[in-house]
Each structure stands twice: as C-alpha cells, then as structure tokens.
Amino acid sequence: MLHRSARKLLARTHVLQCTFWSHEPLLNPVDSSAAAARVVSTLTSKTLDRDHSSNSDNVGYHWPITPRKGTSWRQQSYSTGFQKVGALQQGMAEMVSHVIPMPSDIRYADLIVKRSDHLQAKPSLDPLGLKFGALYTDHMLQVSWKEGSGWTAPSIDPVAPMTLHPCAQVLHYGSCCFEGMKAYKDKDQHLRLFRPDMNMDRLSRSAACLTLPEFDKVELLECIKELVRVERDWVPAKEGFSLYIRPTIIGTHPFLGLSPTREAMLFVVLSPVGPYFPGGLNPIKLFVETEVVRAYPGGVGDKKVGGNYAPTMLPQLRSTQRGCSQALYVLQDGHPGGGIVGESGAMNIFFLFQQEGTMELVTPPLNGLILPGVTRDTILTIARDFGNMKVSERQLRFGEIEDAAKTGRLLEVFGTGTACAVQPVTGLLKNDNTEITIPFDSEAAAHWLAKLPGMALAQPGTDEPFSLCGRLTRILLDYQYGKVESPWSVPIDP
C-alpha cells in the first residue's frame, strides 16, 4: 500500500494530467487566460475531491488517463506535476493561441465528483412503498454543451434544482430525450448494468432527431458507472428491485425562434425501484386506445423523446379511470382487419398464438411506430433460442387478436420494458366496454419463477406446466442479476 502522502501526490498528478488531457474549451485565444483559470479551478475541485475520499485505498485510480488521438502535443507540453501550476497558468495564454478549435466531447477522465454532506436514509425494500420513480438518490451526473465549444467537464453533484432560462427550448418546444436503464446488485454484492450499450445508442439516435448534441457513448457510460458506484448503497440487493437510471438531454438554448439546438444539458438521475406494477407478476388490463395516436409513419415513435410521452398522460388517465393500468395504442387506418397494434407507452407488447400445430410469438416490427426496446430485443433473442415456437416481428392488426381470442388461440399476452421487465396482460378493454380476456396461469408462472439459476433455460419437461411469460421472466432475471453469466450483463468494477 502506498504511503498516504504519496497516494495524495499521485492523485494530484493524475488529476493534473487528466485536466490537460481534458481539452478544456481552448477555442478562442481571447478566452485563453480564462480557460487557464478554469483549468486550475477544475484541478482544485478534483484535488479536493480526492482529498475528501483520501481514506480510500483507491485514491488516484478512478481517473484513467486515456490519451485521445491527435492530442499528443498536450501530453508533451502539460503532463506535469502539481508544482508547475503557477507557471502553466502564466504560459497558458500564449500556448493555447496555437490550438485549432475543436469542440470537446464528454470524457470520463474529466469527471469531477462533489459529494453531498446530507445523505438521505435509504428506503426499505417494500414493493408497495417503493413506488416507481418517486424517490431519488443523493447525487446526479451533469454536463452541459454549447455549439462551438462542445461539452464541459462532467460532474457528479448533490441532486439539486436546476436553473433554466424561461425561454430555454425544452420549456417551449420539448427538446428533450431520455433513457431508462437499471443497475442490479448480484449475489456477491457486485453492481451490474444490462445491455447499456443499447441505451447509449438509442439516446444518441433520440438526441440526433431533436438536433440535441452527439456525445461519446463509451465515455458517457463510464461516467454513469461512476455515478452508480458513488450511489452503490442505493442499489437494492433483492431480486425484483434495482436502481433505475434516467439519462436525459434537454435543449437549454434561450431562444423562442424555432431553430436547431445551440445549448444543451445532459443529466442523469437515479431512483431505487421495485416492480413497476405493484404485485410483480400479477397481471394487468390494458385499455385499447384507438382515438389518440401515439406514433405515425415518418414520426418519431421509435425515439425516446419527451414529446412521445406527454400526450400519453390523458389516455393513461382515461385508462386508469376505466380500471386499466395503461393504454395499448392501436392506429386506425380504416383497414377491415382492424387497426395496427403498436405499443403501450411504457411497454412493448407480445402476443402468443396457437397456430396450426405450433405456437407463434408475435410482436410489432421495428417500423418506426414503436420503441426499439432493450427488453423487447432480449425476449425475442431468448424465445428464438428456445427453438420450439415461431417468433415473429410482424404487423399485427387488432382483428387478428380478436379472432384468436374468440377461437381460443390467444394463449398469452405480455408487455416488456426496462421499467416493468415482463408484465402479463389478462384483459384488453375496448372503447365499447367489451373486453377480450386472455388466460394467465399464475401457478404455472410461479413454477417457472421458482426455478434455480439457469434451470429455466433447459427444455421444459413434458409434465411441466406451461407459462411462457413465467419462463421468460425467470431467464431475464437470471441474466439481469448475473445469476447466469452473459455478455449482456456488464459488471461495474468496484
């Protein structure tokens, strides 16, 4: 173990190196002294943070120095010890005047951590008390962006209200996109994410369609991992519970004209969650929404933008008033076979049909009208691997569902999503108050849920009860909680 003062010096040296790799917006020669001052103040806050956590043996090792291509001149000029700060500050003005302007990207090496002095008590793991999205942890990640200069250094700060100009684009034109991902604690208390690369890709696509800025997906993910590490005590250690991660990007440019975004902010908040629908695998009913259109061809229904969600609040209210948990969006196009089945706002939807001697699991295709769900993709992959049923991504008209239900061929319906995982559905209530009922065998589902890790992957025995929903849920949970290793489960280094 290094002597404490040696570790501190090492930490400071690392911090300084990181700072100079960090391409603090050194764009305009006029701004160069200010940039140098910012560099030093960044250094100070990082050093303070290292000092703050100096009782940890990990001091100095959370800031990997990963040189970026084409920046070696900075390493040669500035990768130096803490003592040289004064000289650097003086010399910076001349040196930066030769820099070719290059907008900065998000970089984990630049991350600043400011810990809160007021930590909240952690909640108890009561599925009813831990209402989805109602509680937030103590810290958040934030980083802002400006056209021309790019992203500032990301920081982890105590959660606090944000200041926005009243003319910020997000407040008027809904320039907002977000993600939903989760951190899980495995049996060894290690933290894990599930397919986070898919969330980073989707966030990037959502941002692009709103002219919100691009970002380095790998670097952002590293910053998110650090936030989860900081909040590791908030990650519930119980199956069915997790830490919900909400990365969000908003347009902050104070401008009432309609124009592409010139200023933005990316932030990530965390919320400890239990089951999205209290009661776990207890089935729900959906209201068949045929009047409000959630998505349409050529729209942004396949992006996770705030504008797709705000107009679903009213259908959601109407659904709950009619005893349903959510709406199922069915796009009417006058076709005699009924409207086109989409998704339900917080979930993708799956239907299991009995078809001439076989079964077919159907979910709507990725045609721009539904969100490309991470859980959706995972369930499709697992079900295809079973090899005992046809698995289709195809257009589904509501008439086909009604026919199958009438003839007893509609075997199961379930929704999937990050928030809800797998959610059985036993009723589809139509506007005329008639209801399609769907079977759900709770004992069969419980049989599959009780299986030991990995056992649900084995072919079912001939005497085993049938529950596709139960079997898929067991396998999904095994992967998410790292009970069965897979490349999908991404461990967060301690």
Give contact residues for ligand COI (rule: CB under 6 A). Answer: 180, 309, 346, 417-419
Nearest approach, Cβ of 320 to ligand COI (angstroms)?
A: 14
Q: Which CB, 111 or 346, lies closer to ligand COI?
A: 346
* Whole-number Å distance between alpha carbons of 433 and 415: 22
Q: Which CB, 14 or 376, lies closer to ligand COI?
A: 376
* Whole-number Å distance between alpha carbons of 453 and 470: 14
Instruction: Using the structure block, give the residue that is written with the tokens 């008027």.
Output: 172
Q: Which CB, 18 or 181, lies closer to ligand COI?
A: 181
Nearest approach, Cβ of 255 to ligand COI (angstroms)?
A: 28
Whether 456 contacts 471, CB under 8 Å = yes
Whether 301 contacts 370, CB under 8 Å = yes
Q: Which CB, 154 or 417, lies closer to ligand COI?
A: 417
Give kind and range of the element (H or E) at residue 229.
helix 217-230
Q: Which residue is nearest to ligand COI (CB)?
A: 180
* Whole-number Å distance between alpha carbons of 315 and 328: 9
Q: Which CB, 346 or 349, lies closer to ligand COI?
A: 346
For 420, the token pair is 């809800």
Q: Which CB, 359 or 419, lies closer to ligand COI?
A: 419
Q: What are phi and psi of 328, to 5 degrees?
A: -110, 120
> Residue 365 contacts by C-beta under 8 Å, 6 or more apart in sequence?
393, 394, 395
Give kind and range of the element (H or E) at residue 75.
helix 72-78
Q: What are phi and psi of 356, to 5 degrees?
A: 15, 80
For 354, the token pair is 């009995």
Nearest approach, Cβ of 418 to ligand COI (angstroms)?
A: 4
Nearest approach, Cβ of 411 to ligand COI (angstroms)?
A: 25
Say how far residue 261 (Cα) sits from the centre of its chain. Answer: 22
Beta bridge partners of 157: 140
DSSP 452: P
Nearest approach, Cβ of 169 to ligand COI (angstroms)?
A: 22
Nearest approach, Cβ of 311 to ligand COI (angstroms)?
A: 13
Nearest approach, Cβ of 304 to ligand COI (angstroms)?
A: 7
Query: What is the Rg, in whole angstroms, of the alpha carbon atoms belonging to the chain?
Result: 25
Q: Which CB, 142 or 418, lies closer to ligand COI?
A: 418
Q: Which CB, 180 or 274, lies closer to ligand COI?
A: 180
Q: Which CB, 137 or 418, lies closer to ligand COI?
A: 418
* Whole-number Å distance between alpha carbons of 225 and 423: 28
Nearest approach, Cβ of 178 to ligand COI (angstroms)?
A: 7
- Torsion sign over Cα 220, 225, 231, 237: positive
Q: Is 161 exposed, middle or buried (0-12, 13-18, 19+ CB in 10 A)?
A: exposed
DSSP 462: T
Nearest approach, Cβ of 108 to ligand COI (angstroms)?
A: 24
Whether 139 contacts 115, CB under 8 Å = yes
Nearest approach, Cβ of 303 to ligand COI (angstroms)?
A: 12
Q: Which CB, 304 or 397, lies closer to ligand COI?
A: 304
